[in-house]
Amino acid sequence: MTQHEPEATNISSASTRARIEMLRQQRHRLEQGGGPERIARQHQAGKLTARERIHLLIEPDTFQELFLFSHHRCTAFGMAGKEMPGEGVITGCGSVDGRQVFVAAQDFTVAGGSVGEMHADKICQTMDLALKCGSPFITINDSGGARIQEGIDALSGYGRIFYRNVLLSGVVPQIAIIAGPCAGGAAYSPALMDFIIMVRGSEMFITGPEVLKQVTGEQVTGEELGGPEAQIRSGVAHFIAENDAEAIALCKRLLSFLPSNNLEDPPDRGDGELRFYNDPVLDTMIPDDPREPYDVIPIIKRIVDDGDFLEVQRGFADNAVIGFARIDGSTVGIVANQPTVMAGVLDIDASDKIARFVRFCNAFNIPLITFIDVPGFLPGVAQERGGIIRHGAKMLFAYSAATTPKISIILRKAYGGAYLAMCGKDLGADRVAAWPSAEIAVMGPEAAVNIIYRDQIKQADDPAAARAEFVRLYRAEFASPYVGAGRNLIDSIIVPSETRRYLSLALASLRTKREFRPQKKHGLVPL
């Protein structure tokens, strides 16, 4: 007996068509955010809307919006039944350069992007999905702050977001784009994330200028207090963009260097071939006079792929340089002293800057290359009282705790505790190479001879000439890289022009590195 399929029909019921049309109309209305007038004001302020920002970030036809129909349940202060499209935030997922990301973009056209219970819940559920799927999480902040009408529910929402920032930390990359106001408690979510990109005209602060004036009498503008330049100087922000489009392009570039999560290797754009080349220009880039400064960034750019170096936190602690590059197509993290700024010494801010970057690279399996030219830690009463010992210890801790491949290249000076803090062999460096210009010692030759040969210099017929000779002898006998190489603390002394070859081979050999540490809940960073 044959079972017949029911006959198909092309006729939809009127009620179904009506429901579909109603859905389309409702979606269209909600997607307009605060409406044409508020969108126009957003554009007049030189800002894109939340939806426009997402369209720039996410590849066409890949964005899947989540929680569009979210609605608050506040009834106080005339809020009962009041519609706030999308609850002032657009959330969802999509592709950036073929990789999935999750995003939450606050919509300033809806109640100033204020954060209420459902607004926060949308962000929290999106973060939960980013964690489950092992995908980067990106926020685009543009909000007037907590929704006052919702009281403690709004505060609770912030707390739930902060908690998830910590859960995601070290598991998936978190990037915040500050594209408008980000004030009060709201500033702590970006501060808990890995990177902050601030757009010109945006502001980020805990206490606004008006409140400061009332409470403390201090009078400053919003730009002076919480603008991009101010937050770069404070070490809070990592990048400044001129406008929304540039910020999103910068976010995409940053993502291109990062793995999607801590279980993946960083993106590899190579073809499996090691690109060896000698660069004779490198042989001439270190001045003969050890006191003469030089810019380390051109050295970095001559070594990495295509001269492509994304510097992070430029403008904060510029005596240290950090950033991302590629060697043979694979991402590496770069740390370097900058001799053109304070001779490249380590101070409180440089220590914090390097330590945080090292810990990020370690969390996401990014090999570290450290270029060393450091005369020591910065002396001074202000540094001592500010806790240079504690802050310097963060660097020692970060490098020692890192199990990602670590390669150090000593370019010139490597003195005292700062030599160790910049990842010497004893802090677990897998490879240490030195250029012939390297000087490794407890302190600089000039300072050392003043102590060691003080009496001989005083008794000499020509103290200046005697001192110069002692400096030469100390540099040759004690500060020479061959002394460290003789103790197996330096693996190789290399010709500068061969640095690229050395790094290519070292990184290739360390791809299978495995390092096991004592089991513990976590180490105790000297915060």
Residues serving a catalytic function are 184-185, 417-418
**What six digits make up the tokens of 483?**
């002394």
Q: Alpha helices of 137-243 — where are they, by DSSP H?
A: 152-168, 188-191, 209-216, 222-226, 228-233
> Who contacts 421 (Cβ-Cβ below 8 Å, separation ≥6)?
346, 351, 374, 377, 392, 395, 396, 399, 427
- Which residue in this structure is represented by tokens 């720039």? 56
Contact 350, 319 (CB under 8 A): yes
Phi, psi of 500 (to 5 degrees): -60, -45
Do residues 181 and 143 make contact, with C-beta atoms less than 8 angstroms apart?
yes
Whether residue 150 contacts residue 117, with contact meaning beta carbons closer than 8 Å, is answered with yes
β-strands 99-106, 137-141: how paired?
Answer: parallel
What is the enclosing helix (H) or strand (E) of 253? helix 244-257
In whole angstroms, what is the distance from residue 204 CA to residue 281 CA? 43
Compute how many other C-beta atoms are within 10 angstroms of the C-beta atom of residue 412: 23
Distance, C-alpha 89 to centroid of its chain: 24
Sequence-distant (6+) residues with CB within 8 A of 161 are: 120, 123, 124, 127, 189
Q: Which residue type does 447 have?
A: A
**374 phi and psi angles, rounded to 5 deg:** -130, 125
